[in-house]
Amino acid sequence: MDKCVEITTDLSDGLKMFKLLEVISGENPFNKFERNPRMKIQKIQNIQLALTFLKNTGIRLVGIGAEDIVDGNLTLILGLIWTIILRFQIQDISEEELSAKEGLLLWVQKKTKPYDNVDVKNFHTSFQDGLAFCALIHAHRPDLIDYKSLTKANKKENLQLAFSIAEKHLDVPAILDPDDIVSIPKPDERSIMTYVAALYHVFATSRKAETAAKNIANLLDFAQEAEQLQVDYSNRAQQLAAWIKNATVRMEDRNFSNSLEGIQTDISEFQKFKTHEKEGRGREKKELEANYNTLQTKLRVNNRPAFKPPAGLLPEDIDKLWVILNQAEKERARLLREELRRQKHLAYCVERFKVKASALEAWVKSKDHFMKSDGVGDSLASVQAKLKNHETFEEDYNYQAHRLTALQTLLKEIVDGKHSEAGWCEDRYKDVSNQHGSGLKQTADKRKNDLEAELKRQKKLQDLLLSFGKKCLEFARIVEDCDDFLTDPISVTTVNAVQSLESKHQEYLKGQHEEAKKAYDALVHLAGEIKQSGRSEKEYSEFSIDDITSKWNNTQKLSDKRKQNLTKETSTQEHNENLRVQFAQKGKSVHDFFTAKHKELSSLSGDLDKQLNTVKHAQTEILGHQSSVEELEDLNRQLEAAEVTDNPHTELTIETIKMDFEGLTQFTAKEIKVLESELIAKKHGGVSSEELNEFKECFDHFDKNKVGKLDRLELNSCLKSLGQDATEADIETLLRDYGIEEGTYEDGTPKRLLSFESFVTYMKNKHSQSDSPHRIKDAFKIMAGEKDFITEAELRSLLPADKVEYLIKRMPKVSGGYDYNAFTESMFK
């Protein structure tokens, strides 16, 4: 077809008019027409067909007839051409000139807003320096123009650059002449509008690709975040599981220290493990569980498959390992307590051994000194008395041999228990045994020989003095046994143990103590008889009656002191028992509450609003139990201060309760945050605040009546200004599905309007629909130019570098590029 050179004549026969309308409308409505018109009537009939087609498309032709076109009326022909351009090039931005102009102008303003020296306010003078045209092209194809190199003074050069690049790279004909724009004060507004509309339609395809890329980027943002959360969980869970297993091995170690001080240090280290190391890991466990639940919630809400951690790293698996650790910890605590009691008993045995060894040694030394320093007497009575006294010594010697046997029994228990002082005790026993068995025995044998020799000279001894001496020795032994009982250390940890000691003390008072009192009274009576005879009761006795009285008074004081100590210990153990019971009862109540809440929160499902309300209510209840946890901490401090290491009424510890409280507190806080985020996402479909602001700006701009609603024409312009290519059918469907009916148009059809909330809902649904396998594949297809694969270059032209790197590492490579279909399927499995 020849070019149209003279518009007044070339359109007169209707043939070029038919071609123009077919190209610009995309239709082929002309089948029956005069193909070789020569007569004027034939030309008028052809032009009339064209005008009828235009009327059927909704164009109102006022004052324009077929004869005017055939006759070459330039004014009317130019008006008709503008009407055609307006209808088919600009009206698809809107359906009325005013709305189309504003919609196109708003689109230009948004695209050129970031550029220096560009301030578009109209379609004439705002375009004279050419920068607005260059900015429009650069905004969509920054590779074509170096905008920073342009200056406002080079108007003609800027215009020429924009028109030549648009014609060469964008297939937009250079219908404007730079001289026509620069040389007049006000360029032709319709010409510039026509050219800008052509650019708008060219960039519509790139806007689809940008929208598709944005949908892909949103999908990748969520995928990368979820993938990172899964990696973080797996790494942390693996580290925690390794720590729990290692800690379990440490708890199962039975190589305890072999001394009281050492086992006390072991217990101290064990307490540090519970209160510091394990408590910190417990918080990490709760945080990890909360992160796992948060991740699963996000995946579930976004219709993604649930996360499956590596084998053995599910929260349930970690819980099982934790239970094994708790059991090992409990068993270690029991064994440490048993070892502590054993070491205390061994320490008690060592102390008792030292006391008995010292007492036996003192007895040996005193007897040895006495026998070496005491003479044989100066009368028969004194010799007989000393000989008798020596017989008593021999009895006492044999009795002390019994004490040596008892000492040996204690030594055996110390050695068998592998106490750290066992070697010292063995040396000590040998020393005391040698003193008793060799040295003293030789001294005693010599004294006995001396007394028997002296006995030949001394015939008579005073029975009374001998009797006193003998009874004094018997009394001394009785008192020694009493003192031995009364000075036995009080080492108990329960009320029952104290009560047992009190019972034994009562038995002592009725038996051993009463026997000692009778012996003392007999000695006082005997001493009185001796003094009446004018002799000293100590003549043949180690002890005077004053010595005996002093021993008896000391024994009574020891008895009174032991009674006081037992009473005090009873009060202490009753107080400790009360603390144990309080801790057990309150601990059970708090633990049961935490367990029930955790179970309740872990099983939430269904409506997100109801879930959020439930979690917030639970959070308030949980925080309300903080005072109870603090009370338990105070009870635990009191138990530790009293050195109470076990509690038979409960297996709970303050560390476990604090860990439950902190874990639930963290869990509810995170769950609230996640649910609130998901509710926002659910309401706005992942629409960002920037996008909402952009929606609001465009909506308010086209809401001419400021009623908060858009009609069909305003809605179409609003969508076009946002880069959305919506057909008339799309607009009708949108209003039918989201609009509300308010009256009718002049032709009687229902008038439907769209509120801002409904508009956002539509945009939200349009956005959310992109997050499905079908929509994602469509988005990739747009980016790929309708191919079944996509190249790296196409990815890099529309997506950030990090997103491209993420994709090419995961997309299967195929001939020519990457298989986006297989990748998309894998994302939703």
pLDDT at 753 (0 to 100): 92
> d(Cα 631, Cα 637) in Å, to the nearest integer?
10
Question: 3-class SS at 790?
Answer: strand
> d(Cα 721, Cα 718) in Å, to the nearest integer?
5
Tell me which of 66-80, 591-605, 629-643 is least confident.
66-80
pLDDT tens for 496-526 read 888 888 898 888 888 888 998 998 899 898 8
CA 176 and chain centroid, separation: 64
Q: Which residue has the higher pLDDT, 140 or 790?
A: 790
pLDDT at 250 (0 to 100): 93
- The set of residues, in sequence order, having a beta carbon less than 8 Å from that of 682 and lying 6+ positions away, is 301, 608
Mean pLDDT of 98-115: 80
pLDDT at 75 (0 to 100): 73
- Order the strands of the 709-710 sheet from edge to edge: 709-710, 750-755, 740-744
Mean pLDDT of 125-136: 93
Residue 814's beta-bridge partner residues?
817
Alpha-carbon distances of 441 from 278, 435, 712, rounded to whole Å:
63, 9, 129
DSSP letter for each residue of 712-778 = HHHHHHHHHHTT----HHHHHHHHHHH-EEEEE-TTS-EEEEEEHHHHHHHHHHHHHTTSSHHHHHH
> d(Cα 87, Cα 317) in Å, to the nearest integer?
69
> Looking at the whole model, is its pTM more than 0.85?
no
pLDDT tens for 168-199 read 988 888 888 999 899 888 998 888 888 888 88
pLDDT at 588 (0 to 100): 92
Residue 68 has φ and ψ, to the nearest 5°, of -60, -40
pLDDT at 90 (0 to 100): 55
Mean pLDDT of 69-94: 68
Helices (H) and strands (E) in the chain, counts: 31, 5
What's the Rg (C-alpha) of the chain?
55
Most distant CA pair in the chain: distance in Å?
190
pLDDT tens for 555-567 read 999 989 989 988 9
Closest CA relative to residue 145, chosen from 127, 162, 120, 163? 162
Closest CA relative to residue 803, chosen from 785, 814, 790? 790
> d(Cα 722, Cα 111) in Å, to the nearest integer?
10
Q: Which amino acid is at 475?
A: F
pLDDT tens for 685-718 read 556 556 777 788 888 888 888 888 998 888 888 8
> d(Cα 590, Cα 262) in Å, to the nearest integer?
35
Tell me which of 125-129, 249-253, 489-493, 764-768 is least confident.
764-768
Does the pLDDT value for residue 91 go beyond 60?
no
pLDDT at 686 (0 to 100): 55
DSSP letter for each residue of 412-477 = HHHHHTT-TTHHHHHHHHHHHHHIIIIIHHHHHHHHHHHHHHHHTT-----HHHHHHHHHHHHHHH
DSSP letter for each residue of 674-703 = HHHHHHHHHHHTT--HHHHHHHHHHHHHH-
Label residue 237 by pLDDT band (50, 70, 90).
very high
pLDDT at 94 (0 to 100): 46
CB 111 within 8 A of CB 45: no
> d(Cα 40, Cα 51) in Å, to the nearest integer?
16
Tell me which of 246-250, 482-486, 491-495, 666-670 is least confident.
491-495
CB atoms within 10 A of CB 171: 9
Does the pLDDT value for residue 741 go beyond 80?
yes
Label residue 251 by pLDDT band (50, 70, 90).
very high
Assigned token pair, 346: 């061994």
Alpha-carbon distances of 423 from 284, 427, 713, 797, 815, rounded to whole Å:
48, 6, 107, 86, 86
pLDDT at 97 (0 to 100): 42
pLDDT tens for 627-641 read 999 998 998 899 888
Closest CA relative to residue 287, chosen from 672, 675, 662, 594? 662
Return the DSSP state at 117: T
pLDDT tens for 713-726 read 888 888 877 767 67
Mean pLDDT of 735-762: 84
Label residue 95 by pLDDT band (50, 70, 90).
very low
DSSP letter for each residue of 265-278 = HHHHHHHHIIIIII
The sign of the dihedral angle between the CA atoms of 237, 242, 243, 247 is positive
- The set of residues, in sequence order, having a beta carbon less than 8 Å from that of 402 and lying 6+ positions away, is none
Mean pLDDT of 561-582: 88
Residue 753's beta-bridge partner residues?
740
> d(Cα 635, Cα 53) in Å, to the nearest integer?
94
Closest CA relative to residue 321, chosen from 232, 251, 391? 251
- The set of residues, in sequence order, having a beta carbon less than 8 Å from that of 208 and lying 6+ positions away, is 725, 782
Does the pLDDT value for residue 16 go beyond 80?
no
How many residues can be counted in the chain? 829
Cα first-last separation, the chain: 56
pLDDT tens for 755-802 read 988 888 888 776 655 457 777 888 888 888 788 999 988 888 778 888
